[in-house]
Amino acid sequence: MHPGVWALWGTVIVLLLILGNVLWVLGVRRLYRPRTVPPQLRRVRCQDGWEIAVHVRRAPVRRFQEPILLCHGLSANRFTFDFAPPYSVAHYLAEAGFDCFSVEWRGTAGSRRPPRGRRYTDFTVDDHILQDGPALLEFALAETGAPQAFWLGHSLGGLVGYGVAQGPQGPKLAGLMALGAPVFLQSGPLLRALVGIGVRAAWPARFRQEWMSATMAPFLGYVTLPLSDLLVNTKHMPPTIQRQVYANMMSSMSRKVLLQFKDWIEHDAFRSYDHSVDWRAGLSRLTLPMLIMGGSSDRLATPENIRKQYELLTCSDRTLHVFGRDRGDKMDYGHGDLIFGTGAPLEVYPLIGTWLQAHATPLPSPVEQTAPATLPA
């Protein structure tokens, strides 16, 4: 057979494999999509012109003045906090009377609208701290008429909150809750190697993790993926929830962000891309109320890491809680199961809710609010 014909057949086979994967992923996401009333999608423009998506879930009856900013971590999206009950922090807090604003950081899911002249992968964690966080905060305050808001961040979302709290918008935060947020990034050779592989896989712009996760999602619970224990305690996460989370919650990662994490891990730092700002050193200057939370078996934000982080704080109102069996909890918590573990709605969510109600400002009269009436098709 002529070499040109072989080349043509090879091209056809590759295209069919790509098309098959696209159809598979779309089908997986539809099959495992969260069955719940979606939040309202709003778009917010940052000062540098980048447009980010903010998903608003109103309290059916608003009882507290301050809104809650829900901020996801690396390679995730708004489903981290706004999923299907009972595994949804946004639903839990909305029912308690708080308006909730779940962000998607620039370059993630609905936030891929950069200003002219920039690619949607052209950003660092600095941009989350200096641009996205302040825009989210100002939007939530304008929408609710509140003078301050609470920040709840998981993993990278907690680190962004630390940076925002040290900036000019810091006084507009009524309190900060960090969930599994590793301020100390020193690690063993395994994680350093994995980040290095991620940086190479992300060349020239990003690592398309979401496609790989969605492709594998239907098999989770039947097989355990290598290195899963870095992300979750799989014994603490129902197989059906694992499949839903991996099908919906994962997002691609910017190469520049991965390079920044590589710097943090190699030098045990939490600093700006150009090394000019040390956000970890700035923690001791924060005065707002803080709730620091972690998991007893978390391998990314270890209990030792969380305790060292807590010891950096000098604010008078600070609380530390590491979830695990030694504290009487149902299971030893890993990283992702702080939100999606079977015990999370019974142990983690109520602790967050209790802390918020102790620090929030009750409205003189509860306000009934209109909510969407139909489920997604």
Chain centroid, CA 33 distance in Å: 18
Long-range contacts of 309-314, Cβ-Cβ distance < 8 Å, separation of 24 or more: 309/178, 309/181, 309/182, 309/183, 309/184, 309/283, 312/183, 312/280, 312/283, 312/284, 313/283, 313/284, 313/286, 314/284, 314/285, 314/286
Please name the residues in contact with 214: beta carbons below 8 A apart, sequence gap of 6 or more: 25, 28, 29, 246, 247, 248, 250
38-185+274-368 in CATH: which number?
A: 3.40.50.1820
Residue 152's SS3 state is strand
Tokens of 328: 């009487």
Report the C-alpha gap between 82 and 92 in whole angstroms.
9
Domain residue limits, the chain: 38-185+274-368
Report the C-alpha gap between 2 and 51 in whole angstroms.
51
Is residue 310 within a helix (H) or strand (E), and if so which, with residue range? helix 303-312
List the pLDDT tens digit at each of the 377 positions of the chain: 556 656 666 676 766 666 776 787 788 788 889 889 999 999 999 999 999 999 999 999 999 999 999 999 999 999 999 999 999 999 999 999 999 999 999 999 889 889 988 888 999 999 999 999 999 999 999 999 999 999 999 999 999 999 999 999 999 999 999 999 999 987 667 677 778 888 888 888 888 888 788 888 888 888 877 677 778 888 888 899 999 999 999 888 999 999 999 999 999 999 999 999 999 999 999 999 999 999 999 989 999 999 999 999 999 999 999 999 998 998 899 999 999 999 999 999 999 999 999 999 999 999 898 755 444 54
